[in-house]
Amino acid sequence: MSIKKKLRSSEWFNSDNKKMNFVHRSWLRNQGYPDDYFEGKPVIGICNTWSDLTPCNGHLRQFAEVVKRGILEAGGFPMEFPVMSLGETIMKPTTMLFRNLASMDTEESIRANPLDGIVLLTGCDKTTPSTLMGACSVDLPTIVVPGGPMLSGRFRGEQIGSGSMNWMVKEKQNNEAFTDADFREAEVCLARSIGHCNTMGTASTMSTMVEALGLTLPGFSSIPAADARKKMYAQLSGRRIVEMVKEDLTLSKILTREAFENAIVTNSGVGGSTNLIIHLTAVAGRVGIDLKLEDFDIHGSKIPLLVNLKPSGKYLMEDFYYAGGLPVVLKNLMPLLHKEVITVNGATMAENYKDAVCYEEDVIRTLESPLKKEAGIAVLKGNLCENGSVIKPSAASLHLMKHTGKAVVFETMEDYHERIDDPNLKIDENSVIVLKGVGPKGYPGMPEVGNVDLPAKLIKKGVRDMVRISDGRMSGTAGGTVILHVSPESSVGGTLALVENGDMISLDVEKRSLELLVSDEELQKRKQSWKAPEPRADRGYVKLYIDHVEQADKGADLNFLVGGSGSKVERDSH
Ligand code: FES
Ligand code: MG
């Protein structure tokens, strides 16, 4: 296909301003690029989230070289650049605090440079939405190379998965003599290869999301990082992005409302993380699509769970890939998807996935014999969450889906840690644990703490689940009857802020309701004496974040980042 429009990079290298062309080209020549690199080759930016501090993305430096191979083969000019990388297990207080910052880094790095197309190298949880949000606000042709999950962990004969193991360790710590040596052995058994978490946690949810949106080559997202085919697809993605530039296949042409609805349906079908809600909403906001919390319930709540993967099921991502991976899921879900939406390879969803074959029916089910009839995400409303809250029924306990209990309130995360294991704490299995101060502004950064551990004394008694409510998030690898993303959050004076010990709270997932059974008069009284907590930062990025972050139901983007500014740069550097 011929180049239809002038390359954006030609404004740097071949413009009417000979002096500026000289400046832009000359310094790059110190890398030894020949003349013809600056004469009509599409310049492809490889946006790399590699970092030693993001172990899930530790292999992406090598992968960038493979992508470059593909770009060169197709006649492009590859230019790798680093952006802020967010390592889920290491960064404090939470990577979510920095998702929007990383998106700004990505956006500005793309726009300010002579790039015609973009490859996003992603992996660990936030590295996918952050880079995608940034890329969307520029809107060049863009393809995603998802780094892939780790191979399955094995510990003393048992298959173990990322994250799920953490909860098991917590129990072992309480119940058995699990020694330090046992811990060390488990550590390395769990993370035994390159790649990100190997359950359907947030990272796998995000790579599933980008494929369902049409932003990866078909079949790419579920391949384990260590599998040779992962590199092959990375190389093919390098070839393809050069063609996409020639076709001017920009992000906004792929990211239609239908594509977002496909991602919602698919997330339910795979039992994906509740974090998808916040990230997908934020991505949609960048391309001018107004996804509402209700959309996740309308499109995503009556969807059968087709995938038997942890945390909702039994297997891990490696098993998923051997069973046929996401292509089989998308083929099986096709009656519920918008089939005609276009994807990065230029073909439609229906065309891409029609020939998928399932090799293990216990891992990937059909619509007729799903793992659960209805999965997905339920959006709750009520006086306790006027702008909504969410629960993932497939990870919750059936007996708690309709439940009324007495609130046991923790004002902050520190308060929770201090008192949860106090033998004198008045709490039983019917209590409702209420955690405040963990929302976007309040923590700040809305950490994954909503699935707080139960009190040790109840775990010892054999209690495995209780209703927990907070304005925070939960890890994609976690489970339980956990109500998350309560909006408005407590630190801005949402009703959550007014809950007191002993108040009755009533949850009815079927009716989609979450009510604090306290009279309006009493709540009004409490509201009058309520004082907002001091903001936890008075300078720097964290202050910017606290001042501008939107509530969870709006995707927790910074309010001034919603939307895009395109790829045009009006003024020159000299
Ligand atoms: Fe990186 Fe789970 S910690 S994906
Ligand atoms: Mg996580």
Mean pLDDT, rounded, of the chain: 95
Residue 162 Cβ contacting ligand 1 at under 6 Å: yes
* Structure ipTM over 0.95, yes or no: no
Helix 257-270 with 275-286: angle, nearest 10 deg: 170
User: Which of helix, strand or coil describes residue 256?
Assistant: coil
Q: What is the mean pLDDT of residues 486-496?
A: 97
Tell me which residue of 79, 41, 9, 37 sits closest to 242, measured CA to CA.
41
Contact between 330 and 337 under an 8 Å Cβ cutoff? The reply is yes
Residue 422 CA to ligand 1 center (angstroms) comes to 32
User: Which of helix, strand or coil describes residue 65?
Assistant: helix
Residue 166 Cβ contacting ligand 1 at under 6 Å: no
End position of a domain, from candidates 353, 386, 420 = 353
What is the Cα–Cα distance from 165 to 313, expressed in whole angstroms? 14
Give the model's pLDDT for residue 65: 98
Give the model's pLDDT for residue 170: 67
What is the Cα–Cα distance from 330 to 335, expressed in whole angstroms? 9
Contact between 378 and 512 under an 8 Å Cβ cutoff? The reply is yes
User: Which of helix, strand or coil describes residue 295?
Assistant: helix
Residue 472 has pLDDT above 80, yes or no: yes
What is the Cα–Cα distance from 334 to 360, expressed in whole angstroms? 19
pLDDT tens digits, one per residue of 2-44 = 445 799 999 999 999 999 999 999 999 999 999 999 999 999 9
- In one letter, which amino acid is 164? S
| 252 and 236 share one domain | yes
Tell me which residue of 521, 574, 546 sits closest to 17, measured CA to CA.
574
Let me know if residue 360 belongs to a domain.
no
Percentage of residues in the chain having pLDDT higher than 70:
97
Q: Which two tokens stand for residue 269?
A: 């079908």
Contact between 161 and 153 under an 8 Å Cβ cutoff? The reply is yes
Let me know if residue 2 belongs to a domain.
no
Ligand closest to the CA atom of residue 85: 1
| 456 and 522 share one domain | yes
Let me know if residue 164 belongs to a domain.
yes
| 164 and 24 share one domain | no
**Residue 41, number of CB atoms within 10 A of its CB:** 22
Q: Which atom of ligand 1 is nearest to the CA of 55?
A: 1
Let me know if residue 520 belongs to a domain.
yes
| 220 and 329 share one domain | yes
Tell me which residue has tokens 């495995």. 464
| 330 and 383 share one domain | no
Q: Is the dihedral of CA 165, 166, 168, 169 positive or negative?
A: positive
What are residue 212's phi and psi, to 5 degrees? -65, -30
Give the model's pLDDT for residue 2: 45
| 211 and 243 share one domain | yes
Give the model's pLDDT for residue 1: 43
Let me know if residue 169 belongs to a domain.
yes
Let me know if residue 99 belongs to a domain.
yes
Ligand closest to the CA atom of residue 448: 2
pLDDT band at 50 (very low <50, low <70, confident <90, very high): very high
Tell me which residue of 123, 195, 124 sits closest to 153, measured CA to CA.
195
What is the Cα–Cα distance from 49 to 145, expressed in whole angstroms? 11
Residue 448 Cβ contacting ligand 1 at under 6 Å: no
Q: Tell me which of 57, 59, 196 to substitute to probe ligand 1's pocket, judged by most ligand atoms within 8 Å of the beta carbon.
A: 196
What are residue 549's phi and psi, to 5 degrees? -70, 140
Q: Which two tokens stand for residue 512?
A: 């989609």
Residue 203 Cβ contacting ligand 1 at under 6 Å: yes
| 464 and 341 share one domain | no
Structurally, how many domains does the chain consist of? 3
Contact between 520 and 417 under an 8 Å Cβ cutoff? The reply is no
**Residue 570, number of CB atoms within 10 A of its CB:** 4
Let me know if residue 1 belongs to a domain.
no
Contact between 234 and 80 under an 8 Å Cβ cutoff? The reply is no
Residue 312 CA to ligand 1 center (angstroms) comes to 17
Residue 149 Cβ contacting ligand 1 at under 6 Å: no
- In one letter, which amino acid is 70? G
* Contacts of residue 25, Cβ cutoff 8 Å, sequence gap at least 6: 13, 38
Ligand closest to the CA atom of residue 203: 1
Chain-centre distance of CA 546, in angstroms?
A: 21
Residue 447 CA to ligand 2 center (angstroms) comes to 10
The angle at the Cα of 148, spanning 567 to 134, to the nearest 5 degrees, equals 20
Task: Give the helix/strand (H/E) hosting 392.
Answer: none
| 317 and 188 share one domain | no
Segment among 391-400, 430-439, 491-500, 558-567 with least mean pLDDT? 391-400
| 226 and 313 share one domain | yes
Contact between 115 and 140 under an 8 Å Cβ cutoff? The reply is yes
Let me know if residue 3 belongs to a domain.
no
Tell me which residue of 378, 486, 389 sits closest to 436, measured CA to CA.
486
Q: Which atom of ligand 1 is nearest to the CA of 56?
A: 1
| 117 and 241 share one domain | yes
Residue 262 Cβ contacting ligand 1 at under 6 Å: no
Tell me which residue of 508, 359, 519, 325 sits closest to 432, measured CA to CA.
508
pLDDT tens digits, one per residue of 310-359 = 988 899 999 999 999 999 999 999 999 999 999 999 999 999 999 999 99
pLDDT tens digits, one per residue of 512-528 = 999 999 999 999 999 99
Q: Which atom of ligand 1 is nearest to the CA of 201?
A: 2
| 157 and 239 share one domain | no
Q: Which domain holds residue 187?
A: 152-192
The angle at the Cα of 168, spanning 162 to 171, to the nearest 5 degrees, equals 155
pLDDT tens digits, one per residue of 76-108 = 999 999 999 999 999 999 999 999 999 999 999
The angle at the Cα of 132, spanning 291 to 276, to the nearest 5 degrees, equals 50
- In one letter, which amino acid is 71? I
- In one letter, which amino acid is 406? K
User: By alpha-carbon position, which residue is closest to atom 2 of ligand 1?
Assistant: 197
DSSP 289-353: ----HHHHHHHHSS--B-B-BTTTSSB-HHHHHHTTHHHHHHHHHGGGS-TT-B-TTSSBHHHHH
Threshold 0.95, pTM exceeds: yes
What are residue 504's phi and psi, to 5 degrees? -90, 140
Q: Which atom of ligand 1 is nearest to the CA of 54?
A: 1
| 115 and 159 share one domain | no
Give the model's pLDDT for residue 163: 73
Q: Tell me which of 51, 91, 122, 124 to substitute to probe ligand 1's pocket, judged by most ligand atoms within 8 Å of the beta carbon.
A: 124
CATH number at residue 410: 3.50.30.80
End position of a domain, from candidates 338, 353, 368 = 353
